[in-house]
Structure 1
Amino acid sequence: MESLIRILVRAKKDKDAVTATIRTFYGDWGGQIDVTSMGGVRRYNDLVKRIEEESKGYDGLIVVLCPREMKELRNYRAHPMNVRLVNLDKAKVRNARISEIFWAIEKGKALFRIYARWHPDKQGYVHFGTIGEPLRLKCKPTYDMYYAIGKPHKELFTELFGAPIGENPLVVKYDEGVHEVFQGSSMALRILIPYEYDEDVRLVGKGEYEPIDVNISSCINLNKSYLLFLERYAFKIFKWAEANTEYDYDRVIVPWSGGKDSTVALILSIKYFGKENVVPIYVDTCLDLPLNIKYIDEIARRLNIDYVYAKADISIELKKRGSLPTKDDRWCTKIKIKGLYDAMKKISDRPLIVVGDRDCESLSRLRRPFVRWHEGMLQIAPIKIWSTALVQLYLAMNGVRLNPLYELGFYRLGCYICPAFRSWERRILEKYFQELATYRKRFSTLKYA
């Protein structure tokens, strides 16, 4: 079966350079990424024709590397939905180091999620194409974007920064804790959310803007064709795994935390494999945030499915150690994973595991293939290239509400002692779950690195 990602370059020598890059950086991808030459064509019209021909005959993602010799192609905006163009500041692709080619490929993947235009008539954002007003966005493989959905989000922005913000603003999450909050096509606030739990959130920049309410229903309608394209692409990933691994699985397992990503992974799995073949497993750490188990039960009823409840009581180890887990010592994760694997062993000998991992979450996840072997089991990440914004819209399009904890302001969910919680999450814990924040503080003998 054909690859999942195709890199398109102008000439054969460029193809050789990309082949060396794939061999070095994507050696464990096993045919999930390949490279094709456009036969040495040079004229703008010939390049466009070649790209569009490639797009029509290929249902994966296409990343076109555009060095200076193809600079005219940089004005090619109305490209097909499965194509992204990446500028490469070299005369030819073959002149770049393989590390530079690698990061250009990763930027191309990121452009499928870090993209937005404002449609003023519809009061919504478009995440593909050329409709609407462009936003001035930077794009790197580790960036993310999301909708700050719900009135509590709006109230928190006003409370912290004294700045009135419309409902459901689009937020772009950059590196080093920098976030930009958009109102329409204008950057309204630039805020710094330190990774350290005990530091404080602060305003570091402000633009000229008018408060605008974003209509999420309009965003769904504006992006429906793109969301359906991403759904089909997820199914292609499943098909690729079945066709290329010869893994005789007996169950499809979805580790289901109640978070947005694992919920989308669950919906995609049900649609493709059938709900009778999919087993969600929820691992209760006994330190989950309130409302989470209620959400799990609510969505299980909504999807008309059963799930396996497993218990991994982290609170016992917490009391024994007397200190919180840290980013360098996530002993809590080991306990949770053991609980998951113990539950899997009881229901499956050869599980196919579908996870909600995404590229922008960490460099290690970015480097992983869509389909990989992990501890003798096959693991698939169907939403690897999605942004949080696309995850949110896909859930809404399928009539599945977000976990209400996100509407309180959480960017990610987890136990309330989670070492990944930042200063932002501390604010929310203290505002809505003061008792839990106080309990956590009792064990804060170690500061997060």
Structure 2
Amino acid sequence: MYQLIVRAKKDSDALKAMARVFYPDWNLRISTLKGARGINEIRKNLEDMVDELLYNIILVGREDAKFLVLEDEFPENVVFFMVDKKRIRNARIITLSRCFERARAIIRNSAQWQENAYVFSHKDAPFVKYSIPAYDLFLGLGEGYERMLEILLGTGYKCTLFVRGFGGTHETYCGPSLVAKIKIPDTGKVKVLSKEEAECLEIKEEDLVSSNRDIVQMHERIS
């Protein structure tokens, strides 16, 4: 399901050690860019290596940060992520594991706003993009959510996007606008932490479906 790509063999050796310790049953594919350094060479090698049936995660160290500009040239199943070390091989395997988990989180915790619909893409400057594995995105659809928000906020926003964070805090969006932060604990009282005035947009479920069809089909192929 995953291909991890790094620039050089010594970097891939570090990832293989990480995989043996933390992901022994995952059958991770670990590949290298054959030591390529120039951005055109990196681009060409990636074009040959990216697999449409896998999530492809490219890990780069600080010395290769310039390659991050290639992110939006590649399809939705490709994620670039920087490890905060000069080189990948310099990071401890627990650090590499955390970076892998954060890169994976970006795939499911990102959203754009396009033509009156949420598009669950991490490309092209999404208004929501979290690399925190504990976070989750979900839609609030139907009369139940609308009624709840009307009680809490005084406005019955339709088709809201929620970002569930730590401690039961939920960022609440209508379109690309953050309209509230609401604390919804596992037990106890729901509390509005903050709220903002925003236009109550009409978001149609059929637009959501059509706008995300290609992305859903991508996840289906990979799964």
Establish whether TM, by shorter chain, passes 0.5. Answer: yes
Q: State how far apart, in whole Å, the 1-side matches of 2:38 and 2:156 are.
A: 47
Answering whether residue 64 of structure 2 is matched by residue 65 of structure 1, we say no
CA deviation profile, 1:270-293 (whole Å, cap 9, x unmatched): xxxxxxxxxxxxxxxxxxxxxxxx
Q: CA–CA distance in 2 between the matches of 1:25 and 1:177? A: 28
* Structure 1, gaps ≥5 residues long: 235-449
Instruction: Tell me if the contact between 1:134 and 1:185 (Cα under 8 Å) persists in the aligned partners.
Output: no
Query: Which residue of structure 2 aligns with residue 26 of structure 1?
Result: 23
2:207 alignment partner AA = S
Does residue 81 (structure 1) correspond to residue 76 (structure 2)? The answer is: yes
The structure with more strand, counted as a fraction of residues:
2
Structure 2 match to 1:41: 36
> For the pair shown, which has the larger CA radius of gyration, 1 or 2?
1
TM-superposed deviation, 1:78: 2.8
Secondary structure of 2:134's aligned partner = coil
Distance 2:197 2:98 in 1: 33
- TM-fit CA distance, 1:75: 2.2
* Aligned partner of residue 189 in structure 2, secondary structure: coil
Output the CA distance in 2 between the equivalents of 1:93 and 1:41. Answer: 14
Q: Is the 8 A contact 2:110 2:122 kept in 1?
A: no
Contact 1:148/1:169 (CA < 8 Å) preserved in 2?
Answer: yes
Amino acid at match of 1:184: G
Q: Deviations over 1:50-108 (max 9, x none)?
A: 222111x5521111112211211222223222211112111111111111100111112
Asked if residue 169 in structure 1 is aligned to residue 163 in structure 2, the reply is no
In structure 1, the residue matched to 2:180 is: 189
Determine if contact 1:62/1:83 at 8 Å carries over to the other structure: yes
Contact (CA 8 Å) 2:149, 2:157: kept in 1 or not?
A: no
Shift of 1:189: 0.8
Deviation at 1:204, TM superposition (A): 1.4
Instruction: Note the C-alpha offset of 1:136.
Output: 3.9
Could you tell me which amino acid in structure 1 is paired with residue 117 of structure 2? G
SS at match of 1:232: helix
**What is the letter of the counterpart of residue 48 of structure 1?**
R
- 2-structure distance, mates of 1:217, 1:58: 26
Instruction: Tell me the CA shift for residue 171 of structure 1.
Output: 0.8
Aligned-partner residue type, residue 225 of structure 1: D
Contact 1:165 1:212 in 2 (8 A): no
Instruction: Classify 1:137/1:208 alpha carbon distance in 2 versus 1 (closer, same or farther; 3 Å).
Output: farther
Deviates more, 1:96-105 or 1:42-51: 42-51
Instruction: Write out per-residue CA displacement over residues 141-184 of structure 1, whole angstroms, 9 at most, x where no aligned residue.
Output: 1221111001221111120233x242111111112211111122
**Could you tell me how far apart the structure 1 residues matched to 2:66 and 2:140 are?**
37
Aligned to 1:154: 146
Which stretch shows the higher mean deviation, 181-190 or 17-26? 181-190
User: The residue matched to 1:112 in structure 2 has which SS?
Assistant: helix
CA distance in 1, matches of 2:195, 2:44: 43
The match for 1:91 is: 86
The reply to whether residue 215 of structure 1 matches residue 204 of structure 2 is: yes
Check if 1:140 corresponds to 2:132: yes
Partner AA of 1:185 in structure 2: P
> Quick one: distance in 2 between partners of 1:49 and 1:37?
13
Alpha-carbon distance in 1 for matches of 2:160, 2:44: 38
Question: Residue by residue, what CA displacement relative to the aligned partner does 1:327-346 show, whole Å, maximum 9, x if unpaired?
Answer: xxxxxxxxxxxxxxxxxxxx
Instruction: Name the SS of the counterpart of 1:8 in structure 2.
Output: strand
Contact 2:110 2:130 in 1 (8 A): no
Give the 5 Å matches for 1:12-411.
12-29=9-26, 31=27, 33-55=28-50, 57=51, 59-76=53-70, 77-119=72-114, 122-128=115-121, 130=123, 134-162=126-154, 164-195=155-186, 197=187, 199-234=188-223
Amino acid at match of 1:112: I
Conserved 8 A contact 1:78-1:130: no
The 1-side partners of 2:173 and 2:119 are apart by: 14
Residues 207, 16 of structure 1: alpha-carbon distance in 2 compared, 3 angstrom cutoff = farther
Pairwise CA distance, 1:208: 4.7
Q: CA RMSD in A?
A: 1.8
4+ long deviations beyond 4 Å: none
Distance 2:130 2:215 in 1: 21
Which amino acid is 1:15 matched to? S
Shift of 1:222: 1.1
Gap change, CA 1:102 and 1:209, over 3 Å in 2? same
Aligned residues: 222
Instruction: State TM-score, norm by structure 1.
Output: 0.47
**1:237 corresponding residue in structure 2:** none
